[in-house]
Amino acid sequence: MNGGISLNNKLLPLTNYAVFLDCDGILIEKGNINSPSEMQFSRDAILSLRYLQNYFTLFIVTNQLNIPKEFITHEQIEKINRALISRLAEYGIHIRQVYYCPLEHSEGYKYTKANPYFLNTAVSEYGIDLRGSFVIGDHPRDIRIAHNAGTNGIYLLTEYGRERRDELPLRSLVVNNIWKAGLLASQIAFSQMHKRDVDVELKQAAEIIRNGGVVAFPTETVYGLGANAYDGKAVARIYEIKKRPSFDPLIVHICHPDNIKFVVSELPSIASDLIDRFFPGPLTLVLPKSSDIPDIVTAGLSTAAVRMPAHPMALELIRMSDVPIAAPSANLFGRASPTTAEHVRKQLGNDVDMVLDGGHCFVGIESTVVSLISHPPTLLRVGGVSIEEIEKVIGKLASPSEHETMRPSAPGQLRHHYAPRTPLIFYDAIKDLPENVRAGLLAFCSPKESDRFEVVEVLSPNGDLREAAVNFFSALHRLDDMGLDIIVAERLPNKGLGIAINDRLMRASQTR
């Protein structure tokens, strides 16, 4: 009945692997704190964890050398740990557990770092698979424990880490900072998950981008059709391939928040707040454009849309290309977005120079687009980050004005967008359907009726909106490929990602 998705039907994290992150000096700036108020996250810690949690269950491991010395009590530590978990939760980061280890091994303290107790506990309590897991730390002992337990270690060259580097075991993975560690761990987990080494493909793709070519690549939302954002001629080919009207501006993709300065000319504090909370991830910001970005990218607008995707292949492609990448979704204009490499190949075939296969997109619906040009900020497209989440950070969003809807500043606003070739109607309108019509049903969780339909696609048997979003475009593509007379779609609950899916359905249902 339902074709299913290639994620083993697993929502995030995508694997059973874990990251055990050392706390002092790595996650938080200053070690051995005595109260939650002293807690200060180190540079890039938040964004790295947000990225890592797509693939890994997150654990924090902290040394508490002050417990045996009786400078701090267990109660104080528990309080700090609870504060740590809730501060991170405000940033959308879910920590499964904090393990703390009095440094000196003494009776009753099993959580010593010399004893990989916490690794084994994570295996037995949470079903963690250590083979693809990582310990990230800046003490050579962290790496030795990882190796002894049959898991991976990544050594960080913090100030402390530099001093002890020569004590490292041979063949240790060594990186300069936590963000590099996040990239490396995700890249390795991704390669293991897909049982292939993507490095060669990425090098080739980056070469194509640098030489003015066009590459289709995976992001967490949908596949993008990318070119060097500084190269107007390369970008022109995107419009040609997509058969996209030229008034339609593209999103520029970056691989680190710092690089936003290469795309936009102003960064108001409200933008920084959104970046801190949502990058990398399915949020696009519209800001005054940098003069380095050619007009063709922004379709002549004085603003540019920018986002940092959360997919390892996307980030690595941008990093290796060493330029921001302008990319719309990799579908023909107005058609349903691609969430697999196969969808891209079917629609764009040989027109692109290369299609990078990154598996099924794990958000499955395009990014939310917010313009920070106006006050209050305007919601231009509902998408992978819900309106509620954004409003929690920056307050009420405005809807696009009447004027903007007439001449859309975001084509996501065009009335018939995201459409399959097969006509689509809502379930509410089904009474008008003649008996002999071959219809397929796009259902949310349990289909209202199945007998009437040739085929039924269920978006999420458990009624999970996130799972429904992941499956949405794939299900639509499958129904569209069946040569049906009509697709009948159930409306989803109008909250969270359900709003974004209903929006796509509404636009797909507009008759051409």
Among 103, 183, 222, 487, binds ligand TXA (CB under 6 A): 222
- In angstroms, the CA 36 to CA 21 distance is 18
User: To the nearest whole angstrom, how small is the minimum distance from the Cβ of residue 206 to Mg ion?
Assistant: 23
Q: Give the contacts of 87 (CB within 8 A, at least 6 positions apart).
A: 36, 39, 41
Among 151, 152, 186, 329, binds Mg ion (CB under 5 A): 329
Which residue number, 62 or 228, has a Cβ lying nearer to ligand TXA? 228
Which residue number, 86 or 510, has a Cβ lying nearer to Mg ion? 510
Which residue number, 158 or 219, has a Cβ lying nearer to Mg ion? 219
Residue entry with tokens 């975001």? 410
**What is the layout of strands, in order, in the sheet containing 18-22?**
95-101, 57-63, 18-22, 134-137, 152-156, 173-175
On the CB side of 191, CA atoms within 13 Å amount to: 15
* DSSP symbols for 458-495: ES-TT--HHHHHHHHHHHHHHHHTTT-SEEEEPPPPSS
User: To the nearest whole angstrom, how small is the minimum distance from the Cβ of residue 385 to ligand TXA?
Assistant: 10
CA angle 425, 3, 327 (to 5 degrees): 70
Q: Give the contacts of 52 (CB within 8 A, at least 6 positions apart).
A: 19, 58, 182, 185, 186
Residue entry with tokens 């424990």? 145
User: To the nearest whole angstrom, how small is the minimum distance from the Cβ of residue 463 to ligand TXA?
Assistant: 24
Q: State the greatest distance between any 2 C-alpha atoms of the chain, in Å, as a whole number.
A: 81
User: To the nearest whole angstrom, how small is the minimum distance from the Cβ of residue 232 to ligand TXA?
Assistant: 16
Among 133, 187, 219, 228, binds ligand TXA (CB under 6 A): 219
Q: Which residues within the stretch 405-424 sit at the binding site for ligand TXA (CB under 6 A)?
A: 409-412
- In angstroms, the CA 268 to CA 316 distance is 28
User: To the nearest whole angstrom, how small is the minimum distance from the Cβ of residue 346 to ligand TXA?
Assistant: 17
Range 272-276, long-range pairs (CB < 8 A, 24+ positions) = 273/393, 273/394, 274/370, 274/372, 274/390, 274/393, 274/394, 275/308, 276/46, 276/91
305 binds ligand TXA (CB under 6 A): yes
User: To the nearest whole angstrom, how small is the minimum distance from the Cβ of residue 474 to Mg ion?
Assistant: 16
Report residue 419 as tokens: 């459409």
284 binds ligand TXA (CB under 6 A): yes
318 binds ligand TXA (CB under 6 A): no
On the CB side of 383, CA atoms within 13 Å amount to: 26
Among 22, 142, 231, 366, binds ligand TXA (CB under 6 A): 366
Among 367, 378, 422, 474, binds ligand TXA (CB under 6 A): 367
- Which helix (H) or strand (E) segment is 315 a member of? helix 312-321
Which residue number, 15 or 329, has a Cβ lying nearer to Mg ion? 329
Among 187, 298, 386, 422, binds ligand TXA (CB under 6 A): 298
- In angstroms, the CA 302 to CA 288 distance is 6
User: To the nearest whole angstrom, how small is the minimum distance from the Cβ of residue 330 to ligand TXA?
Assistant: 7
User: To the nearest whole angstrom, how small is the minimum distance from the Cβ of residue 494 to ligand TXA?
Assistant: 21
151 binds Mg ion (CB under 5 A): no
340 binds ligand TXA (CB under 6 A): no
Q: Which residues within the stretch 453-492 sit at the binding site for ligand TXA (CB under 6 A)?
A: none
Query: Closest-CB residue for Mg ion?
Result: 329
Residue type, 395: G
27 binds ligand TXA (CB under 6 A): no
User: To the nearest whole angstrom, how small is the minimum distance from the Cβ of residue 462 to ligand TXA?
Assistant: 25
* Number of residues near ligand TXA (by CB under 6 A): 31
137 binds ligand TXA (CB under 6 A): no
367 binds Mg ion (CB under 5 A): no
Instruction: Count CB neighbours of 68 within 10 A.
Output: 13
377 binds ligand TXA (CB under 6 A): no
* Binding segment (CB under 6 A) for ligand TXA, from list 17-25, 54-62, 95-103, 365-373: 365-373
Annotate each residue in 168-207 with x if it binds ligand TXA (CB under 6 A) or - if it does not, as one string: ----------------------------------------
CB 253 within 8 Å of CB 324: yes
Report residue 171 as tokens: 């063949």
Residue entry with tokens 């009335």? 415
303 binds ligand TXA (CB under 6 A): yes
Report residue 287 as tokens: 């800001």
Report residue 87 as tokens: 């501060």
* Binding segment (CB under 6 A) for ligand TXA, from list 159-167, 245-253, 254-262, 318-326: 245-253
471 binds Mg ion (CB under 5 A): no
Chain residues in the site for Mg ion (CB under 5 A): 329
Chain residues in the site for ligand TXA (CB under 6 A): 219, 221-222, 224, 248-251, 282, 284, 286, 298, 301, 303-305, 307, 309, 327-329, 366-367, 369, 371, 380-381, 409-412
